[in-house]
């Protein structure tokens, strides 16, 4: 039986009998989902819970059903699914075609509307159109489609024109992207994933509305998601935004660093706290207070342990390196080094995030003339220097960090290939495919701190914290704040043990190299 804490009880009562919108600031492991589900059952009128992704939405749906909550009383959905559902009411014959924008550019190439000079850049044009939709370009209050300054901001933020040939055609590419977006917007019955949110807002369709709209993980919302949430609200409806500003770690992707404050101002919401974590033991909470002073352990929480180990000490306790454990790190490169050491000792593991692997593969195969790891390493050294020259003067330190991490990660993978007498770029690609995966389960998980958000393990190894946290490139105030948030997220993944883990010792070349014959041996 659920027995609410005083803070949970206060929120549930306010949700039941109050009238204002609420921003519920919940620390890591505070039982926010349980609190939301309890409150929903007592709220007046109808409610919708907007989950951050499909997996979380399905979990919430299942919990609502188990609690016996009628779907007419409360339901859960992603913002994309609810956008599409409402859009179908206005356009019942709508078809989802994921290649909608690519199909437009292909037909324009055939007709000659996209000439030979822009044909090599159609992929960038499609990507730019997608990002424009995600940023709400053309929606009332978000800027006119023909305003090229908005497009230029998107290009710069996402570093779309990262090679010389594309940069030379920058103005023409933006102009063509504007025309493609206009054409895409005319095709109202064919939509892609971005259109599920974008077109309902652009066309100002009528939405089915609710008495209560609840946004989960609200600290990671952006403008277009908040606009859609507002459209789902009845005239006197209430908005409930649930999140933790200290877990806002996606500012570099375009999520608003101050999303909860924006919601408070926009919806005139009052703030309520959940400061007690039910996940973390007392010693882990005390450690996490280095970054978030108000997080508190539940009175019944075990003590837990904080310790420090070398990588070699960890490897001696193989029985602990299982599905109950995770190795977390700020950067990808140390994880790859660790993964290869573990794999060579036949300890099953994978690095969470196939998308990270795909980005590395794209970079590794960028130069068609490169066939060997030696050629690739030379190109990568030139590439990372160009990236630094481009981003350092603009103080885009996250871009510099990302470039360096990719470079260092690929170097580790190339070294592993050479150790196995593999010297081709194709071998590098194969190694990447072998160590990166999505939804790692049943074995030891390695993960960046970003990818670990929302998850928990009995035993967490925090790898190479002293050399990676905070990032040396975090110079702006918001960047420093997000680095602090990353430390807080890492510490609060642990349900029992938190181990500060030193990186593996570098391999030492033996003094006597047996591969080289000595003169005496030759004589013999």
Name the band, by pLDDT with cuts 50, 70 and 90, for residue 524.
very low
pLDDT over 50 (residue 215): yes
138 belongs to an annotated ligand binding site: no
pLDDT over 80 (residue 345): yes
| pLDDT attached to residue 479 | 81
Among residues 130, 154, 158, 153, the alpha carbon closest in space to that of 398 is found at 158
State the residue for tokens 């041996």. 521
Kindly write down the DSSP assignment for every residue of 338-399, as one continuous string. HHHHHHHTT--EEEE-HHHHHHHHHHHTS-TT--BHHHHHHHHHHHHHHHHHHHTTTT-HHH
CB 234 within 8 A of CB 211: yes
What is the CATH code of the structural domain delimited by 6-77+202-273?
Answer: 3.40.50.300
Task: Quote the percentage of the chain above a pLDDT of 70.
Answer: 94
The DSSP H or E segment spanning 495 is strand 494-501
Q: What is the mean pLDDT of residues 112-131?
A: 93
Cα(43)–Cα(493) distance, integer angstroms: 31
Q: What is the mean pLDDT of residues 105-119?
A: 96
26 belongs to an annotated ligand binding site: yes
| pLDDT attached to residue 519 | 40
102 belongs to an annotated ligand binding site: no
State pLDDT tens for residues 134-166.
889 999 999 999 999 999 988 887 767 766 778
State pLDDT tens for residues 280-309.
999 999 999 999 999 999 999 999 999 999
Cα(204)–Cα(227) distance, integer angstroms: 11
Name the band, by pLDDT with cuts 50, 70 and 90, for residue 213.
very high
Q: What is the mean pLDDT of residues 492-510?
A: 87
State pLDDT tens for residues 355-414.
899 999 999 999 989 999 999 999 999 999 998 988 887 677 878 889 999 999 999 999
32 belongs to an annotated ligand binding site: yes
Q: What is the mean pLDDT of residues 177-197?
A: 97
Q: What is the mean pLDDT of residues 68-72?
A: 88
| pLDDT attached to residue 146 | 97
Per the model's pLDDT, the better-predicted residue between 507 and 191 turns out to be 191
Angle at the Cα of 268 (from 264 to 272), degrees rounded to 5?
55
Among residues 60, 63, 51, 81, the alpha carbon closest in space to that of 208 is found at 81
353 belongs to an annotated ligand binding site: no
CB 50 within 8 A of CB 196: no
27 belongs to an annotated ligand binding site: yes
Instruction: Work out the burial of residue 473: count CB atoms within 10 Å of its CB; fewer than 13 is exposed, 13-18 middle, 19 or more buried.
Output: buried
Cα(423)–Cα(414) distance, integer angstroms: 8
State pLDDT tens for residues 451-483.
998 899 999 999 999 999 998 888 778 788 889
Kindly write down the DSSP assignment for every residue of 218-279, as one continuous string. GGG--HHHHHHHHHTEEEEEEEEEEE-GGG---GGGT--TTHHHHHHHHTTPEEEEE-EESS
CB 77 within 8 A of CB 50: yes
The DSSP H or E segment spanning 487 is helix 477-491
Domain ranges across the chain:
6-77+202-273, 95-187, 305-501
Name the band, by pLDDT with cuts 50, 70 and 90, for residue 512.
low
Name the band, by pLDDT with cuts 50, 70 and 90, for residue 516.
very low
Q: Please, which residues have CB within 8 angstroms of residue 86's CB and are 6 or more apart in sequence?
A: 200, 205, 206, 207, 208
| pLDDT attached to residue 508 | 57
Q: Which long-range contacts (CB under 8 A, 24 or more apart) does 158-165 make?
A: 158/131, 158/254, 159/399, 160/124, 160/127, 160/128, 160/131, 161/124, 165/120, 165/121
Q: Dihedrals φ, ψ of 201, to 5°?
A: -75, -40
pLDDT over 80 (residue 58): yes
State pLDDT tens for residues 242-272.
999 998 877 665 566 788 999 999 999 999 9
Cα(496)–Cα(456) distance, integer angstroms: 10
| pLDDT attached to residue 43 | 95
């Amino acid at each position: 039986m659920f027995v609410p804490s005083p803070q949970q009880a206060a929120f549930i009562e306010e949700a039941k009998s109050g009238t204002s919108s609420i921003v519920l600031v919940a620390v890591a492991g505070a039982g926010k989902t349980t609190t939301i589900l309890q409150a929903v059952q007592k709220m007046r009128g109808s409610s919708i819970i907007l989950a951050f992704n499909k997996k979380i939405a399905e979990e919430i749906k299942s919990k609502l059903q188990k609690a016996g909550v009628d779907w007419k009383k409360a339901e859960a959905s992603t913002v994309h699914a609810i956008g599409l559902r409402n859009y179908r009411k206005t356009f019942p014959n709508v078809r989802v075609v994921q290649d909608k924008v690519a199909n437009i550019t292909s037909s324009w190439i055939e007709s000659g509307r996209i000439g030979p000079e822009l044909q090599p850049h159609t992929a960038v044009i499609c990507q730019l159109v997608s990002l424009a939709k995600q940023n709400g370009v053309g929606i009332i209050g978000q800027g006119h489609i023909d305003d090229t300054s908005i497009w230029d901001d998107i290009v710069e933020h996402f570093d779309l024109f990262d090679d010389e040939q594309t940069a030379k055609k920058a103005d023409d590419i933006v102009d063509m992207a504007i025309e493609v977006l206009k054409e895409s917007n005319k095709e109202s019955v064919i939509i892609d994933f971005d259109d599920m949110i974008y077109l309902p807002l652009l066309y100002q369709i009528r939405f089915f509305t609710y008495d209560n709209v609840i946004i989960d993980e609200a600290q990671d919302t952006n403008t277009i998601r908040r606009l859609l949430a507002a459209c789902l609200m009845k005239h006197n409806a209430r908005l409930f935004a649930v999140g933790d500003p200290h877990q806002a770690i996606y500012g570099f992707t375009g999520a608003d660093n101050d999303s909860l404050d924006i919601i408070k101002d926009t919806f005139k919401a009052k703030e309520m706290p959940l400061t007690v974590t039910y996940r973390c033991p007392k010693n882990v909470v005390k450690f996490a207070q280095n970054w978030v002073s108000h997080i508190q352990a539940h009175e019944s929480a075990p003590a837990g342990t904080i310790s420090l180990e070398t990588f070699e000490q960890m490897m001696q306790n193989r029985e602990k390196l299982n599905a109950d454990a995770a190795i977390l790190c700020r950067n990808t490169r140390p994880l790859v080094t660790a993964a290869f050491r573990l794999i060579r000792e036949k300890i099953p593991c994978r690095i969470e995030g196939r998308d990270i692997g795909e980005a590395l593969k794209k970079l590794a195969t960028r130069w068609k003339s490169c066939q060997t790891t030696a050629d690739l390493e030379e190109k990568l050294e030139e590439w990372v220097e160009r990236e630094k020259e481009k981003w350092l003067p603009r103080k885009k330190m996250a871009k510099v960090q990302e470039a360096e991490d990719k470079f260092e990660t690929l170097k580790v993978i190339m070294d592993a290939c050479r150790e196995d007498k593999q010297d081709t770029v194709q071998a590098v690609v194969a190694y990447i495919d072998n160590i990166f995966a999505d939804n790692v389960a049943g074995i030891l998980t390695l993960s960046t701190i970003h990818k670990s958000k929302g998850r928990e393990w009995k035993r967490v190894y925090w790898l190479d914290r002293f050399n990676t946290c905070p990032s040396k490139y975090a110079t702006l105030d918001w960047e420093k704040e997000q680095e602090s948030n990353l430390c807080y997220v890492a510490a609060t993944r642990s349900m029992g043990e938190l181990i500060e883990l030193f990186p593996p010792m570098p391999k030492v070349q033996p003094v006597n190299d047996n591969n080289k014959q000595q003169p005496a041996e030759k004589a013999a």
